[in-house]
């Protein structure tokens, strides 16, 4: 859990776009990040290897 907390904090500091680029460069790390844009729309960012059902 410590790793997940550190990664989540880093994504928040880097921002969604830069954070997802970083996540995609790491081995065995996937993420789904949802952010609200200036228009109030929710934007979903999914790393390359993230799978869900």
- 24-53 pLDDT tens trace: 999 999 999 999 999 999 999 999 999 987
Q: Stretch 8-37: mean pLDDT, rounded?
A: 95
Is residue 51, in this structure, part of any structural domain at all?
no
Is residue 53, in this structure, part of any structural domain at all?
no
pLDDT at 53: 77
In the chain, DSSP assigns E strands to 32-36, 42-46
Instruction: Classify residue 39 by its DSSP letter.
Output: T
Residue 1 has pLDDT above 90, yes or no: no
Is residue 10, in this structure, part of any structural domain at all?
yes
Using DSSP, how many helices (H) and how many strands (E) does the chain show? 2, 2
Is residue 41, in this structure, part of any structural domain at all?
yes
Q: How far is CA 17 from CA 21, 22, 48, in A?
A: 6, 9, 13
Distance CA 41, CA 29 (A): 26
């Amino acid at each position: 859990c410590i790793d997940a907390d550190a990664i989540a904090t880093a994504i928040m500091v880097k921002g969604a776009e830069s954070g997802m680029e970083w996540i995609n460069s790491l081995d065995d790390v996937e993420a789904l990040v949802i952010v609200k844009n200036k228009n109030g729309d929710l934007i979903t960012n999914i790393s390359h290897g993230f799978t869900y059902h």
